[in-house]
Amino acid sequence: EKGGYDHFMLKEIYEQPRSIRDCLRGRIYPQQGNVQLGGIKEYADKLRNLDRIIIVACGTSWHAGLVGEYLIEEYARISVEVEYASEFRYRNPIITEKDLVIAISQSGETADTMAAIELAKEKGATIFGVCNVVGASIPRVTHAGVYTHAGPEIGVASTKAFTSQVTVLTLMAFYMAQQRGAITQSKLIEYLTELDAIPTLIEKALKTNDKIKEIAAKFKDSRNCLFLGRGSSFPVALEGALKLKEISYIHAEGYPAAEMKHGPIALIDAEMPVVFIATKHSSYEKVISNIQEVKARGGRVIAIVSEGDTTVKDMADYVIEIPQTGEAFVPLVATIPLQLLSYHIAVMRGCNVDQPRNLAKSVTVE
């Protein structure tokens, strides 16, 4: 059932071109510049009159929510807050009937996310679900929703479910932008055409596997690791760090690259790898200065860069090249090498990658 792969996690990493295609199927019409989300279409009016969205989730799903925040604010121009469900539910949050709450959950069973939904529902908010498991508890209590269609995820550490959550949130951002007239038709055609090509770019990103394995061999004995990114690559850094700590038990932290000098910079030495997401997008130059700051302090840098990049190559100890994409889609592609890096490091350390200690696939108690 592992389809020839050593672990479910690796199989699921490799399934991503397919799972994202499934997620996009019947939902985007690039030539017409049209997004169709049948699950939420009855709420099109609501979306036109919205002032604020609150995203609630836990763990990896919360990271997907952070990517969603960047995309929805950028393209649909609606203000978004992203909350840990466990904090939101106990904080007496301010919620009104005007609000839209988007709950993200792979399993659809997470206790804290469920409780956050119930609270928001009581206060009259509209609730959308972004779930993977069809017919699970969360999709049954939400008003509407969009399934991710990633298929069953067996590996406890989430991989393909994450990228399909990000895909759904990307679709929602463009759908809302379309409904609200926040985007021109020609821009939509351009973005949807790029989105349609993402599964093919992920296939290319998976070809970095051998290179990543070599890098993993160099860093498998690290005790700490830092992941840094800016903009929508910041949540990618958080997700990279979570993946590494979950399956390899190496202590890892994700930070916005600019926050490095407000604390984590004190940790930098030759023993601690620093992984940068340094693709050629709006914050490229800023990230380059951050890389220089790490190198100046004797740190070792692994950088995820856009294909053909030579500037970062000259500075970093190791570079992993991924195909260039439009800014909106970096998280979908940049996540792939980070999943592979964690996977190989964990395997080399002899860890049980599919079932890491102390973790459960679905967290039904708070």
- Report how far apart, in Å, the C-alpha atoms of 107 and of each of 60, 84, 183 are: 12, 16, 33
Distance CA 132, CA 303 (A): 31
Question: Residue 217 or residue 360: which is nearer to ligand F6R going by CB?
Answer: 360
Interface with ligand F6R (CB under 6 A), residue from 19, 105, 170, 283: 105
Question: Residue 51 or residue 118: which is nearer to ligand F6R going by CB?
Answer: 118
Q: Interface with ligand F6R by CB under 6 A: which range of 57-65, 179-187, 296-304, 320-328?
A: 57-65
User: Furthest-apart CA pair in the chain: how many Å?
Assistant: 56
Site for ligand F6R in 258-297 (CB under 6 A): none
Give the x-and-dash track for 146-175 against ligand F6R (CB under 6 A): -----------xx-----------------
**106 is a site residue for ligand F6R (CB under 6 A):** yes
User: Are the C-beta atoms of residues 117 and 56 closer than 8 Å to each other?
Assistant: yes
Number of residues that bind ligand F6R (CB under 6 A): 15
The distance of closest approach from Cβ of residue 140 to ligand F6R in the complex, given in angstroms and rounded to an integer, is: 14
Distance CA 281, CA 171 (A): 21
Give the x-and-dash track for 209-248 against ligand F6R (CB under 6 A): ---------------------------------x---x--
User: Are the C-beta atoms of residues 345 and 244 closer than 8 Å to each other?
Assistant: yes
Coil, helix or strand at residue 359: coil
**188 is a site residue for ligand F6R (CB under 6 A):** no
User: Are the C-beta atoms of residues 222 and 356 closer than 8 Å to each other?
Assistant: no
Which ranges of 180-232 does DSSP label H, i.e. alpha helix? 185-196, 198-206, 209-219
Question: Residue 28 or residue 56: which is nearer to ligand F6R going by CB?
Answer: 56
Question: Residue 23 or residue 58: which is nearer to ligand F6R going by CB?
Answer: 58
User: Are the C-beta atoms of residues 253 and 226 closer than 8 Å to each other?
Assistant: yes
**CA-atom Rg of the chain in angstroms:** 20
Distance CA 38, CA 171 (A): 12
**110 is a site residue for ligand F6R (CB under 6 A):** yes
Cβ-based neighbour number of residue 273 at 10 Å: 25
Question: Residue 79 or residue 352: which is nearer to ligand F6R going by CB?
Answer: 352
**58 is a site residue for ligand F6R (CB under 6 A):** yes
CA 261 to chain centroid: 24
The distance of closest approach from Cβ of residue 104 to ligand F6R in the complex, given in angstroms and rounded to an integer, is: 7
Distance CA 305, CA 313 (A): 8
Task: For residue 361, indicate whether it is catalytic.
Answer: yes
With CB atoms as reference, the residue minimizing the distance to ligand F6R is 59
Question: Residue 105 or residue 283: which is nearer to ligand F6R going by CB?
Answer: 105
**324 is a site residue for ligand F6R (CB under 6 A):** no
User: Are the C-beta atoms of residues 154 and 8 closer than 8 Å to each other?
Assistant: yes
Give catalytic residues, as residue numbers. Answer: 361
Q: Which residues bind ligand F6R (CB under 6 A)?
A: 58-61, 105-107, 110, 113, 157-158, 242, 246, 362-363
